[in-house]
Amino acid sequence: MSALFDYLRNITYYLLFAALVGLIVPTGKYKKFVSLVMGLVLLVLMLQPLRHIIGTEIPITQWFAGIMSQSTHQADDSESSYLNWRDTYLAVAFEDQLKAQVEGLLSRNNIYLHEVAFAYTQDFSRITSISLQVSREETTPQRVPFIRIEPVQIERDAPPDDPLIDEVKNLIAGFYNLPLTHIYVKIIDT
């Protein structure tokens, strides 16, 4: 008889807890998820006496053993693949943010950024070097001829005394606190 009272007491406590959680959770997209989880837990609590009737004393944690056994073999693989995905995602987001910063910095000085590549520490805490391809922006609009001919981009190693290279290096070095020797600039003629 005490087992029946324990069973009813556990369900009553759980229903009070579920009501409290239902009041705390705001309405919206999480309300349905929380009610689904709470309903599944209530179902497991209500099916506990069924274990005693059948005569199997399987712990509740093993009820879902079929699902868990499939995922435990893949746990190491999935964890390492998750870590690889996370690191790749963070690197792409970090590089996109850096590219947007450099592009904004150079465009304020009428310099057009063609390509940029970064080298940084594994924990994304410090940039170690930057490689840029830039050109001077045209400030006056060009007249478009009747037949449009697209300009050809030519990469060249500019002479070391080119003022555009010095300007870009000084801008980047001042913004990212990098030594000038870690900034590589290539000028593209358009």
- Domain contains 32: yes
Percent with pLDDT over 90 in the chain: 0
pLDDT at residue 70 is higher than 60: no
Considering the domain architecture, whether residues 130 and 160 belong to the same structural domain is answered as yes
- Least confident residue range of 4-13, 48-57, 70-79, 146-155: 146-155
3-state secondary structure at position 140:
coil
The domain in which residue 110 lies consists of: 89-139+150-189
Q: Cα dihedral angle (32, 37, 42, 45), rounded to 10 degrees? A: 180
pLDDT, tens digit (0-9, with 9 covering 90-100), for 129-173: 888 888 886 655 555 555 554 554 545 555 556 788 888 888 888
Domain assignment of residue 81, yes or no:
no
The structure tokens 């400030």 sit at 139
One DSSP character per residue, 107-131 reads: HTTTEEEEEEEEEE-TTSS-EEEEE
46 plus 101 within the same structural domain: no
- How far CA 182 is from CA of 30, 75, 163, 176, 190, in Å, comes to 49, 41, 18, 11, 26
Please, which pLDDT band fits residue 61 given cuts at 50, 70 and 90? low
Q: Are residues 55 and 104 in the same domain?
A: no
Residues 107 and 63 in one domain: no
8 A C-beta contact, residue 172 and residue 105: yes
Do 28 and 104 sit in the same domain of this protein?
Answer: no
CATH number of the domain at 161, please: 3.30.300
Same domain, 107 and 185: yes
Tell me the pairing of strands 154-156 and 183-189: antiparallel
In angstroms, the CA 7 to CA 45 distance is: 8
Domain count, the chain: 2
Task: Kindly state whether residues 35 and 6 are assigned to the same domain.
Answer: yes
Last residue of a domain, one of 73, 104, 130: 73
Q: Has residue 29 been placed in a domain? A: yes
Q: Are the CB atoms for 6 and 13 separated by under 8 Å?
A: no
Q: Are residues 25 and 95 in the same domain?
A: no
Stretch among 30-39, 62-71, 92-101 having the lowest mean pLDDT: 62-71
For the residues 30-48, what does the mean pLDDT come to? Answer: 83
The pLDDT of residue 22 is: 81
Same domain, 48 and 113: no
